[in-house]
């Protein structure tokens, strides 16, 4: 079932009972894409849970939850500012639809058309194609919108690593690399298929990143409404770094985007149809206001930006083949000391034509690395062309196992240049072997809307020093987004395993029934996981805990382990059915064999 169906049914039954008794009890409802503009005036909203939300503002929020009357907000008229380039904005509140405007006149809008409800992520690629992602009931249709008519044409549903909510979309200046955000994570997105891959968590305490945007220079920024702040983001890892706060009480879905001059425009929404439109100071996070209402609205923003001719080193698509001529059986896809590496890296041209393109490995070489083939002549690349640069390097036989090196790559042409790098791991440690510990924690009922929850104790007699730990949890519950789970060791260390997945990115979190999870470090993050069918976390039980289980490393298994599980919202209940522990005493077998006597021919004309 969808969030809207389950919570609405619950809210109506409670409301009917509470209003007869004039109890004033709050009733919660989430508006799905098709119901956003059909207000139920008799419903009472849970203002606390809506204090930071990634969805569109529900009907009645301004009257019930805002501490001021929106009509008293003093409008700030348009402030003339160059450039007068075109922009597009999507209103998801009162007058749903796509509008065009010029950047220095937000109020001077022209209605284009209505693609439908609940499009919370927008951006243009370098060809002027407008992409967007729609939020549905557990699915996210991805496609394009015609800027002349507003018609949405779906490409596919977002697939692969699908989060519980999508908050933002940005497309890099090379026109080939796209990213989307959830409340807590950054993902890469294939524009042709809609396939998403997790890049990494934002970290930095961010729990609700509402949008991301990338400049022509490749610098990525994010706006978090839980902290009302601007962050810089590393697109390679997803890690966010705080820049500063804008000081506005931002809430609900909203957008921002770069123009081609490097200005970051945003319409910061504060509820009740009120917003401030302006540009971010990328050094401080402050917003330079350009206009407020009229018109009222809750706006996503997308700006066509031509980043000009650009070369791109597509290191994310690079491949590495390991070669050991003296022992071909060692060519196993694992880089090991003494091997030669055949490195292939795609290079792309966009926005113009490039002549005499040359890719090379810059000097000096990384420590422990010798160049064999360090230059690739790629010829001329026209707009949209791709070519593959092939290199070969030697890993010194004395290179330390289970370490890494970074290989830089440079591309030059008469019209411009580009650079990138590849991180290469040498050797690998096998996965540790986990052994179940004797005993299973007993089942127990979980009380409804009780943050203290219940505890279940598992007494362990085996004395094992923990290298790594995993936790198996099976629970019956009708709304996983209500559930919190933590584990406390005999030594008093507590680790949060689960913290209401999908909250605060969505108001009520993941709607899936039941839990059948194997919590372990190194698995996919759990905050954005919400499968279409039960149980949580999906077809595979493997999922990362909210906090790392590595906190237990070095402790003994002997003693009482306590699992705490709680329900944190009214209306859904369940039970802890069973739980158990799995322990690893040490790392797995290391794969790192020196390739001795490798036959190497130095194409660069020297033999060290």
75-90 tens-digit pLDDT: 344 333 445 789 999 9
- Are 90 and 37 within one domain? no
CA atoms within 13 A of residue 18's CA, in its CB half-sphere: 15
In-domain check, residue 592: no
- Are 319 and 261 within one domain? no
- Are 123 and 209 within one domain? yes
- Residue 42's alpha-carbon distances to 29, 38, 60, 456, in angstroms, are 11, 12, 9, 41
Q: Which of 43, 65, 87 is the last residue of a domain?
A: 65
- Are 477 and 575 within one domain? yes
What whole-number distance in Å separates Cα of residue 172 and Cα of residue 131?
13
In-domain check, residue 600: no
Q: Which of 406, 428, 450 is the last residue of a domain?
A: 428
In-domain check, residue 544: yes
The residues with which 283 forms a beta bridge, in sequence order, are none
What was the pLDDT predicted at 457? 92
260-274 tens-digit pLDDT: 888 999 999 998 889
| pTM for this entry | 0.59
What was the pLDDT predicted at 119? 94
What whole-number distance in Å separates Cα of residue 228 and Cα of residue 209?
10
- Are 288 and 345 within one domain? no
What was the pLDDT predicted at 364? 95
- Are 295 and 350 within one domain? no
In-domain check, residue 608: no
What whole-number distance in Å separates Cα of residue 433 and Cα of residue 431?
7
What dihedral do alpha carbons 289, 291, 293, 295 form, nearest 10°? -140
What was the pLDDT predicted at 467? 94
Q: Which of 428, 461, 485 is the last residue of a domain?
A: 428
Decide: residue 375, CB within 10 A, 0-12 exposed, 13-18 middle, 19+ buried. Answer: middle
In-domain check, residue 79: yes
What was the pLDDT predicted at 2? 30
CATH number of the domain bearing residue 419: 2.60.40.10
What whole-number distance in Å separates Cα of residue 455 and Cα of residue 458?
10
What are φ and ψ of residue 61, in 5° steps? -65, -45
- Characterise 337 by phi-psi region: left (phi > 0), alpha (psi -120 to 50), beta (else): beta
**Structure tokens that stand for 514 in this block:** 């039941």
Nearest CA-CA partner of 210 in 234, 192, 228:
228
What was the pLDDT predicted at 604? 57
CATH number of the domain bearing residue 533: 2.60.120.260
- Are 288 and 322 within one domain? no
- Are 79 and 7 within one domain? no
> Low-confidence residues of the chain, pLDDT below 70?
1-43, 67-83, 137-138, 174-175, 439, 441-442, 504-506, 601-608
- Are 478 and 552 within one domain? yes
- Are 453 and 489 within one domain? yes
Q: Domain span at residue 447?
A: 435-584
In-domain check, residue 594: no
In-domain check, residue 44: yes
- Are 570 and 553 within one domain? yes
What was the pLDDT predicted at 135? 87
Number of structural domains found in the chain: 4
In-domain check, residue 607: no
- Are 441 and 530 within one domain? yes
């Amino acid at each position: 079932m969808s969030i809207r169906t389950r919570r609405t049914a619950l809210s109506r039954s409670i409301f009917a009972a509470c209003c007869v008794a004039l109890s004033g009890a709050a009733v919660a409802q989430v508006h799905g894409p098709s119901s956003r503009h059909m207000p139920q005036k008799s419903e009472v909203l849970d203002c606390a849970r809506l204090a930071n939300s990634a969805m569109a503002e529900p009907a009645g929020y301004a009257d019930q939850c805002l501490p001021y009357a929106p009509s008293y907000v003093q409008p700030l008229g348009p402030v003339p500012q160059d450039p007068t380039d075109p922009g597009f904005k999507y209103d998801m509140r009162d007058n749903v639809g796509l509008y065009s405007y010029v950047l220095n006149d937000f109020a001077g809008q022209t209605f284009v058309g209505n693609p439908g409800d609940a499009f919370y992520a927008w951006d243009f690629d370098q060809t002027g194609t407008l992409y967007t992602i729609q939020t549905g009931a557990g699915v996210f249709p991805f496609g394009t919108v015609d800027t002349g008519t507003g018609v949405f044409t779906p490409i596919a549903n977002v697939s692969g690593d699908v989060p519980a909510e999508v908050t933002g979309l940005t497309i890099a200046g090379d026109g080939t690399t796209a990213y989307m955000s959830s409340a807590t994570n950054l993902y890469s997105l294939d524009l042709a298929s809609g396939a998403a891959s997790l890049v990494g968590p934002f970290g930095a305490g961010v729990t609700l990143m509402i949008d991301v945007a990338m400049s022509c220079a490749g610098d990525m920024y994010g706006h978090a409404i839980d902290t009302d702040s601007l962050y810089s983001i590393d697109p390679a890892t997803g890690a966010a770094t705080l820049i500063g706060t804008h000081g506005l009480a931002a809430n609900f879905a909203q957008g921002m985007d770069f123009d081609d001059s490097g200005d970051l425009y945003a319409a910061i929404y504060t509820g009740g149809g009120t917003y401030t439109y302006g540009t971010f100071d990328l050094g401080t996070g402050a917003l330079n206001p350009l206009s407020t209402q009229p018109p009222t609205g809750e706006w996503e923003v997308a700006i066509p930006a031509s980043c000009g001719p650009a070369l791109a080193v597509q290191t994310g698509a690079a491949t590495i083949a390991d070669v050991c001529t003296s022992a071909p059986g060692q060519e196993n896809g694992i880089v090991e000391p003494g091997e030669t590496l055949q490195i292939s890296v795609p290079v792309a041209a966009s926005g113009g034509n490039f002549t005499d393109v040359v890719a090379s490995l810059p000097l000096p070489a990384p420590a422990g690395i010798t160049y064999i083939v360090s230059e690739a002549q790629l010829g001329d690349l026209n707009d949209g062309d791709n070519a593959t640069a092939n290199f070969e390097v030697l890993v010194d036989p004395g290179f330390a196992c289970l370490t890494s090196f970074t290989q830089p790559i440079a591309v030059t042409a008469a019209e411009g240049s580009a650079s990138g790098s590849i991180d290469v791991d040498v050797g690998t440690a096998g996965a540790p072997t986990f052994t179940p510990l004797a005993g299973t924690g007993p089942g127990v009922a979980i009380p409804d809307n009780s943050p203290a929850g219940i505890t279940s104790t598992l007494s362990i007699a085996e004395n094992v020093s923990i290298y790594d730990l995993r936790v198996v949890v099976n629970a019956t519950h009708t709304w996983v987004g209500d559930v919190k789970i933590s584990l406390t060791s005999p030594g008093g260390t507590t680790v949060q395993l689960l913290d209401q997945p999908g909250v605060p990115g969505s108001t009520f979190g993941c709607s899936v029934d039941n839990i059948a999870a194997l919590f372990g470090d190194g698995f996919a993050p759990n905050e954005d996981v919400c499968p279409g069918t039960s149980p949580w976390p999906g077809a595979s039980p493997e999922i990362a805990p909210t906090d790392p289980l590595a906190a237990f490393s070095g402790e003994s298994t002997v003693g009482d382990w306590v699992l705490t599980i709680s329900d944190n919202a009214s209306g859904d209940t369940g039970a802890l059915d069973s739980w158990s522990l799995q322990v690893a005493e040490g790392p797995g077998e290391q794969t790192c064999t020196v390739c001795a006597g490798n036959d190497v021919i130095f194409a660069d004309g020297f033999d060290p």
